[in-house]
Structure 1
């Protein structure tokens, strides 16, 4: 297992090299510039679309704009926000959060383009049903000669969509918060039992298909974000005098990198800190990875630009709001310097420090909802990838593989699980970003036409 862990870590470091950093961040920045900061100019309109102002039940697709965003957010607003941020701070200190923000701001432009394309170039699966996602917009937008790139995305997606990190961290949280303090000896047996319970819960939802998944998560996501938001605000209020200092330290440390303890990159610790923040940001909001377009591609709409605008809200909610809250909770309580914990246990230490007795249990409820809702969405992504590769009639086989992987996630180490998903996310990002950059002019043309029509409709009204 040690050899396998080491191999997976080497693989993740290799694929997350300079070329991918340039592709994700450089490519996203290019999209932001050529769109003239469009995501930020139309935030208000995006919120109107999300609230259902333009919903038409007769439009093609399976789910509403809100359900599409909820499905995408249930996968992204999860353990990446709680455990992923803690991992970033444990290795990189406060400065890592700044580079997560950079990833999110650029990610808003990336999400606008990738999710507009998911609706603009929808394809059909072997059952003749309309589908969206990078594999379809590669085929429909670029043509059949690009099929190897679509296959690459789908094969990487089979592993990238596995829930192993979420399950691993939920198991760690249950052990650390619930079982160990109550005298229960934790080990392989207890981990397997937690895994089996998650298998049962997940199976009930995922075998019901996208409609059941989207309806379930659209009820869970708003509640879980509100509960987590409220819990962290209590911590920040208790430590209010520390908030300005640590908020400014995030900016100072972004370029000083004094607390960075990981591997150097491009010969320096600052390079290492930047790549750490970008990796954790990408894991948190998944901009440019290609998962969200699979959910947004199923939205009921004839307007690709509308779906792109809704999707771009994801990184803002996910990384700029939720990740920042987690980071400040860990920083202001000081546990990042006094605790040996990593991952979700570090966040738990912060909650316990400020809200004794109840804090840990509040966090456990949030973690359980975050993780379980993520389990539902990721299974949908995996079945879409398998459907593209071998046919829609066989996509359900992925769910059997998926639920078995839950047991693997419950019984293996954090480092192995986070590096495994990181590595395959990188492989998914390559075809997603390359195709998006090539097809970007089509999105700009559609956006120009869309806003021209919106302006004309307002004038007529």
Structure 2
């Protein structure tokens, strides 16, 4: 087992080297300046779209703009925001949060480009149903000769979005905060039983397809964000005198690395970007699959909706989590890792009830993430083997929940991170090649909007 764990950790670390960092951050900067920061100026218009002001029932697609964003956020606003932030601070110190912010800001443009392309170049699966995502904008936008790039994306896309991380951390949280205090000792058997229960819950939703996932996510995501935000903000503002010191530490450590990484700034940057990518998925190619199902004939509209994801996910939710962890000093406990660091922060910040509030949030975060992530993997499987066989993947997906509940956290992180890194390469390369198409569509859309022609 140790050999497999070391192999997975090595795989993840090797994949997240400087070349990928340059591709993700450099690509995001390219998108931002290539379009002259145009999407950033229309956040108000994006909110109008999200409110349904421009929805048309006759438009092609399966779900509304709001449901598409909720589905994408259900996959991103999850364990990456709770456990992933703790892991980032453990790996790179408080300064890692600064580089998460930078990654998210450039990720706004990346999401705009990739999700605009997801609508612009939708294709049909083997059942003749309209689909969107990197594999389709590669083959439809760049041409069939680029299909090997789409195949690489889909192979990695069947494994990167597996729910093993969510299942592992949810199991750990319930063990430490509920089962062990009740006298139920942690063991492979108890973890397996818990994993089976999770698998059954997720199966009830994912076999209903994207429409059921979208409806469930659109109801649960707003609720979980409000409850979690209220709890974290209470912890932060009940210690408001420490807020300035927290930000000072974040900024100073971002360029010194003294807190954890011994002054190795490159390690801090990689830790921040790596966890930000896991959190908001900008450039990885998963979100375009959800946004590609939106009911719209205006690609730019979906790009505007999608660009709000990194803002909500990383700039807002991850920052709140990080401040709670830093304010309570729970990150300095070397004996804890992952979700337990955040649990300790809640227990310190909200004595008596904190860990139970977080348990409720973790349960909803994890379940909605697992609902949405299944859709991504099944679309990749359908592209490779045919949509009529996608339930074969769903069975594999359900089984991976059980495996994740008993697996090693470090092995899971290495495996998932490595697969996401592979997914990012075809996503970013194809988006850069197709960037002129997005720029032309954006210029046309905003020109029509100013002339009153966008309805």
C-alpha distance in structure 2 between counterparts of 1:259 and 1:417, whole Å: 26
1:396 is paired with a residue whose SS is helix
Structure 1: 5+ residue stretches without partners: 263-267
- Superposition deviation, residue 339 in structure 1: 5.4
Which residue of the partner structure matches residue 27 of structure 2? 27
1:395 is paired with a residue whose SS is helix
C-alpha distance in structure 2 between counterparts of 1:25 and 1:151, whole Å: 24
- Superposition deviation, residue 125 in structure 1: 0.5
- Superposition deviation, residue 93 in structure 1: 1.3
User: Is the CA contact (8 Å cut-off) linking 1:339 and 1:346 kept in structure 2?
Assistant: no
Which residue of the partner structure matches residue 351 of structure 1? 346
User: Is the CA contact (8 Å cut-off) linking 2:12 and 2:413 kept in structure 1?
Assistant: no
1:453 is paired with a residue whose SS is helix
Question: Is 1:389 equivalent to 2:394 in the alignment?
Answer: no
Alignment counterpart, residue 397 of structure 2, candidates 371, 394, 402: 402
Which residue of the partner structure matches residue 15 of structure 2? 15
- Superposition deviation, residue 183 in structure 1: 2.1
1:21 is paired with a residue whose SS is helix
- Superposition deviation, residue 278 in structure 1: 0.5
Which residue of the partner structure matches residue 265 of structure 1? none
Which residue of the partner structure matches residue 107 of structure 1? 107
User: Is the CA contact (8 Å cut-off) linking 2:284 and 2:421 kept in structure 1?
Assistant: yes
- Superposition deviation, residue 180 in structure 1: 1.6
Which residue of the partner structure matches residue 379 of structure 1? 374
Question: Is 1:320 equivalent to 2:309 in the alignment?
Answer: no
Question: Is 1:361 equivalent to 2:381 in the alignment?
Answer: no
1:457 is paired with a residue whose SS is coil
C-alpha distance in structure 2 between counterparts of 1:41 and 1:248, whole Å: 29
C-alpha distance in structure 1 between counterparts of 2:259 and 2:413, whole Å: 21
C-alpha distance in structure 2 between counterparts of 1:186 and 1:28, whole Å: 43
1:256 is paired with a residue whose SS is coil
Question: Is 1:305 equivalent to 2:305 in the alignment?
Answer: no
Structure 2: 5+ residue stretches without partners: none
TM-score, with length taken from structure 2: 0.98
C-alpha distance in structure 2 between counterparts of 1:39 and 1:318, whole Å: 18
Which residue of the partner structure matches residue 441 of structure 2? 446
Which residue of the partner structure matches residue 335 of structure 2? 340
- Superposition deviation, residue 451 in structure 1: 0.5
Which residue of the partner structure matches residue 97 of structure 2? 97
C-alpha distance in structure 2 between counterparts of 1:304 and 1:90, whole Å: 39
C-alpha distance in structure 2 between counterparts of 1:242 and 1:187, whole Å: 39
C-alpha distance in structure 2 between counterparts of 1:276 and 1:326, whole Å: 16
User: Is the CA contact (8 Å cut-off) linking 1:12 and 1:422 kept in structure 2?
Assistant: yes
Question: Is 1:155 equivalent to 2:150 in the alignment?
Answer: no
The change in CA–CA distance for 1:424 and 1:338 in structure 2 (over 3 A counts) is: closer
C-alpha distance in structure 1 between counterparts of 2:140 and 2:149, whole Å: 12
Which residue of the partner structure matches residue 247 of structure 2? 247
User: Is the CA contact (8 Å cut-off) linking 2:122 and 2:132 kept in structure 1?
Assistant: yes
Which residue of the partner structure matches residue 203 of structure 1? 203
User: Is the CA contact (8 Å cut-off) linking 2:261 and 2:267 kept in structure 1?
Assistant: no
**Comparing 104-113 and 31-40, the one that deviates more:** 31-40
C-alpha distance in structure 2 between counterparts of 1:38 and 1:424, whole Å: 32
Which residue of the partner structure matches residue 38 of structure 1? 38
C-alpha distance in structure 2 between counterparts of 1:443 and 1:406, whole Å: 37
> After TM superposition, where is structure 1 displaced by more than 3 Å over at least 4 residues in a row?
none
C-alpha distance in structure 2 between counterparts of 1:437 and 1:21, whole Å: 15
Question: Is 1:56 equivalent to 2:51 in the alignment?
Answer: no
- Superposition deviation, residue 115 in structure 1: 0.1
Which residue of the partner structure matches residue 223 of structure 2? 223
- Superposition deviation, residue 247 in structure 1: 1.5
Q: CA RMSD in A?
A: 1.2
Aligned residues: 455
Which residue of the partner structure matches residue 118 of structure 1? 118
C-alpha distance in structure 2 between counterparts of 1:397 and 1:353, whole Å: 44
C-alpha distance in structure 2 between counterparts of 1:260 and 1:96, whole Å: 10
User: Is the CA contact (8 Å cut-off) linking 1:260 and 1:269 kept in structure 2?
Assistant: no
C-alpha distance in structure 1 between counterparts of 2:185 and 2:39, whole Å: 50
